[in-house]
């Protein structure tokens, strides 16, 4: 009898231990720990424009299931894996202050909420028009730099603010670039002293729009670094073009080579298709009709949201290309808008905002 009682007591102890191990214990404490959430970028009080990444960190003892993003109290998106990021196109929001908040959910259904941060939206995409005073080793083409025409083109859009700065200014003060989302190279590439500075700035997620001889810079600094393949990257032709009208940049491009409209310059610059097309992230926007290997316009989107547009029309910013160039800068600045992109005509007498005021 004593042996039976001893066995029953032992069995009860084993059962009690098992229930405790597998959740059957009435004294077990439920998970009530809230996730810890923080918006790390942008920072509270900072100005934002174009497309901005809202970056959130979230931790929890039981694991984070998802993070939700809120702007002015409305949910705008969510992310289920770290790093938690929402790409916010500020161009669709009014200028002024906006509140950002994030919520994180764990496996037990607990919800953690970040402190609210307030940022100031500037609807303008800030475009820096570069004035290249000294050709670099990759320079090619005639001595033309139509930065005034490019500046006046940018002035037509209510969504763009523009300024002209020389490449020598950038070389002496790289922080100038920090104010801008897009660099517009109207023709001549920047000097050797500014190449690595501009490349590093671009790699942080910025945009570049290059025209005509600006192709040299793209080759030298971006696509085939260290290989100055000037003569391999050019072909000259004047002909009609096939336009990809479904892309944001070329959607309303109705006047140009495809209608056999003469442009100012007698030669048009093209990239070779066999060099451009294999590059991941490349979209061909305009090709010569009778020779599709000749590429006149392309858009490139790389990692980290950085973007490049190349337009090879001529050495002068032709007013017929203004819509195209404005859309190119908005796209490069990740601030696509719907509807008309310009509201003013060119004002050729407008004085540009040149930091170092020197003539052409």
Task: Please compute, for residue 114, the number of CA atoms within 13 A of its CA located in the half-sphere on the CB side.
Answer: 29
Mean pLDDT of 296-325: 84
Query: What pLDDT sits at residue 145?
Result: 61
Mean pLDDT of 75-103: 92
Assigned architecture for domain 125-332 = 3-Layer(aba) Sandwich (3.40)
Separation between Cα atoms, residue 190 and residue 131, nearest integer Å: 8
Domain locations in the chain? Answer: 36-121, 125-332
Which residue, 165, 175, 169, is CA-closest to 145?
165
The least confident of 235-249, 250-264, 309-323, 344-358 is: 344-358
* pLDDT, mean over the chain: 79
CATH code of domain 36-121: 2.60.40.10
Backbone phi, psi, residue 91, to 5° = -65, -20
Distances (CA, A) of 46 to 42, 49, 97, 103, 174: 7, 10, 10, 21, 21
Tell me the two tokens of residue 24. Answer: 């059957």
Q: How far from each other are the two terminal CA atoms of the chain, in whole angstroms?
A: 111
Which residue, 146, 139, 159, 204, is CA-closest to 178?
204
Mean pLDDT of 194-207: 93
Tell me the two tokens of residue 293. Answer: 């290997």
Whether 101 shows a pLDDT value over 50: the answer reads yes
Task: Please compute, for residue 274, the number of CA atoms within 13 A of its CA located in the half-sphere on the CB side.
Answer: 3
């Amino acid at each position: 009898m004593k042996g039976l009682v001893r066995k029953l007591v032992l069995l009860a102890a084993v059962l009690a231990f098992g229930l405790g191990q597998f959740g059957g214990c009435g004294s077990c404490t439920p998970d009530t720990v809230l996730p810890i959430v923080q918006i790390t970028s942008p920072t509270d009080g900072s100005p934002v424009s174009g497309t901005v990444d809202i970056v959130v960190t979230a931790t929890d003892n039981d694991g984070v299931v998802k993070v939700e993003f809120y702007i002015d109290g409305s949910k705008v998106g969510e992310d289920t894996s770290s790093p938690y990021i929402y790409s916010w196109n500020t161009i669709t929001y009014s200028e002024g202050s906006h509140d950002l908040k994030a919520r994180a959910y764990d496996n037990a259904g607990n919800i953690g909420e970040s402190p609210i941060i307030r940022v100031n939206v500037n609807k303008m995409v800030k475009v820096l028009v570069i004035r290249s005073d000294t050709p670099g080793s990759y320079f090619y083409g005639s001595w033309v730099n139509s930065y005034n025409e490019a500046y006046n083109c940018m002035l037509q859009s209510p969504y763009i603010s523009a300024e002209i700065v020389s490449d020598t200014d950038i070389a002496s003060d790289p922080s100038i670039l920090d104010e801008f989302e897009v660099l517009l190279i109207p023709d001549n590439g920047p000097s050797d002293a500014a190449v690595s500075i501009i490349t590093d700035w671009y790699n942080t997620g910025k945009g570049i729009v290059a025209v005509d001889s600006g192709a040299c810079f793209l080759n030298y600094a971006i696509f085939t670094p260290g290989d100055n393949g000037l003569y391999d990257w050019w072909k000259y032709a004047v002909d009609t073009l096939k336009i990809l009208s479904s892309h944001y940049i070329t959607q309303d491009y109705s006047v140009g080579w495809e209608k056999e409209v003469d442009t100012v310059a007698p030669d048009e610059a093209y990239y070779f298709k066999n060099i451009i097309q294999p590059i991941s992230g490349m979209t061909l926007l305009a090709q010569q009709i009778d020779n599709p290997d000749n590429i006149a316009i392309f858009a490139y989107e790389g990692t980290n949201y950085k973007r490049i547009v190349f337009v090879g029309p001529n050495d002068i910013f032709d007013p017929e290309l203004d819509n195209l160039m404005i859309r190119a800068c908005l796209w490069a600045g990740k601030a696509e808008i719907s509807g008309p992109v310009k509201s003013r005509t060119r004002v050729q007498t407008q004085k540009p905002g040149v930091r170092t005021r020197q003539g052409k």
